[in-house]
């Protein structure tokens, strides 16, 4: 069957805004960025084609270690988000009915009515040396001097998990909602216990939600800038902060661009490896 001219025109008009958006905002800047990343400044205002920027990432330990640290902490944050979000989602999707259910689901959304920057400053007010927690601890008698709870990895982790929660809860609630209660009951009826029913029936059913939630949370965490930098301070050693430094502080756009592409490539590689290890496919997850 061939499409009529008018149908084809209609299709084109429908797709046009998406295409413009894709090309103008994604393809063009990235293509330019890619070219920038592949050149080296040999003299003022003279550039040459070179892979030196990419080589620098692998030869300078600070850079690749920062990336490895970022990736590992992102994976840990993703795992922690999943562990906390799963019971919460199960409770919302399967235990609650009616208005309470929608209310709790909405409650997960509330933190996102405040911008990430303001939210993170909120954490800082709570956790800094002269902050609320520090004062409460001293008042209760748990500590006899001000406690600094900012600028360490645990705090970064808490901030990242908090920021990511919603992106895990939404896909999980959606998939768990579609799980028939009778499946769980059949699991018990045929001799399963809480653990085997979870492993054999609930988790396999929720797998598409788990995978898509994990991918989104991992990518968001890896690419997060505000939370690690504000809560972790100068020593947060987050890879996006490194990119920022190259572009803004060092004015080394070539290296910054190369880092940007490495972030993209390496994170895609990690997601791909994660899917392989858990034997999931993207098509299954999405469709």
Partner 1 sequence: MLETTDSFDLECRSLVRRFGAFVAVDNVSFGVPQGDFFSILGPSGCGKTTILRMMAGFDQPTSGDILIKGNSVLDVPPNKRPVNMVFQQLALFPMMSVAENIAYGLVRKGLGKSEIADKVKSALDRIGLPTSGDKSIKQLSGGQQQRVAIARCLVLEPTALLLDEPLGALDLKLREHMKVELKKMQDQFATTFVYITHDQSEALVMSNHVAVMNEGRFEQIGTPQDLYYHPDTAFVAGFVGDSNRWHGTVERADSSGVKVVTADGVSLLATPAGDAPLSKGGEVDIFVRPESVVLSLEAERVSGMDNRISGELISILFNGANSRALIRDSKTGGELDVALPQTGEFSTLAQGAEVHLGWGLAQAKAFAVNGERP
Based on the shown chain and the rule CB under 8 A, indicate whether residue 180 belongs to the binding site for partner 1: yes
Based on the shown chain and the rule CB under 8 A, indicate whether residue 186 belongs to the binding site for partner 1: yes
- Token pair in block for residue 211: 């995978």
Whole-angstrom distance, CA of residue 239 vs CA of residue 260 = 9
Handedness of CA 18, 19, 20, 23 (dihedral sign): positive
Based on the shown chain and the rule CB under 8 A, indicate whether residue 109 belongs to the binding site for partner 1: no
Burial of 264 (0-12, 13-18, 19+ CB in 10 A): middle
Among 101, 133, 143, 192, binds partner 1 (CB under 8 A): 192
Least CB distance to partner 1 at residue 180 (A): 6
Based on the shown chain and the rule CB under 8 A, indicate whether residue 198 belongs to the binding site for partner 1: no
Size of the site for partner 1 (CB under 8 A): 17
Based on the shown chain and the rule CB under 8 A, indicate whether residue 95 belongs to the binding site for partner 1: no
Based on the shown chain and the rule CB under 8 A, indicate whether residue 185 belongs to the binding site for partner 1: yes
Least CB distance to partner 1 at residue 181 (A): 9
C-beta of 9 vs 194, nearer to partner 1: 194
The residue range among 94-102, 156-164, 183-191, 226-234 that interacts with partner 1, by the rule CB under 8 A, is 183-191
Whole-angstrom distance, CA of residue 55 vs CA of residue 229 = 26
C-beta of 180 vs 235, nearer to partner 1: 180
The residue range among 41-49, 83-91, 121-129, 197-205 that interacts with partner 1, by the rule CB under 8 A, is 197-205
Among 1, 182, 277, 286, binds partner 1 (CB under 8 A): 182
Positions touching partner 1 (CB under 8 A) are 180, 182-183, 185-193, 196, 200-201, 204-205
């Amino acid at each position: 069957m061939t499409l009529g001219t008018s149908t084809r025109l209609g299709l084109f008009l429908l797709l046009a805004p998406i295409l413009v958006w894709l090309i103008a905002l994604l393809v063009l800047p990235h293509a330019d960025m890619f070219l920038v990343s592949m050149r080296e400044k040999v003299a003022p205002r003279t550039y040459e084609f070179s892979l030196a920027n990419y080589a620098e990432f692998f030869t300078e330990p600070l850079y690749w270690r920062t990336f490895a640290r970022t990736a590992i902490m992102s994976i840990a944050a993703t795992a922690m988000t999943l562990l906390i979000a799963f019971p919460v989602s199960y409770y919302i999707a399967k235990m609650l009915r009616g208005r309470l259910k929608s209310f709790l689901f909405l409650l997960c959304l509330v933190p996102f009515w405040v911008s990430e920057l303001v939210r993170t400053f909120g954490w800082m007010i709570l956790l800094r040396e002269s902050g609320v927690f520090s004062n409460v601890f001293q008042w209760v008698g748990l500590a006899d001097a001000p406690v600094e709870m900012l600028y360490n990895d645990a705090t970064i982790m808490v901030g990242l998990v908090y920021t990511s929660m919603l992106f895990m809860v939404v896909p999980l609630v959606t998939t768990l909602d579609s799980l028939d209660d009778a499946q769980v009951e059949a699991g018990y009826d045929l001799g399963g216990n809480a653990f085997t029913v979870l492993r054999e029936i609930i988790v396999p059913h929720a797998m598409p939600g788990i995978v898509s939630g994990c991918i989104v949370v991992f990518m968001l965490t890896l690419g997060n800038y505000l939370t690690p930098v504000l809560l972790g301070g100068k020593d947060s050693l987050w890879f996006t902060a490194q990119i920022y430094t190259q572009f803004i502080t060092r004015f080394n756009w070539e290296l910054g661009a190369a880092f940007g592409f490495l972030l993209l490539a390496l994170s895609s590689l990690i997601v791909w490896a994660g899917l392989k290890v858990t034997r999931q496919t993207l098509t299954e997850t999405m469709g």
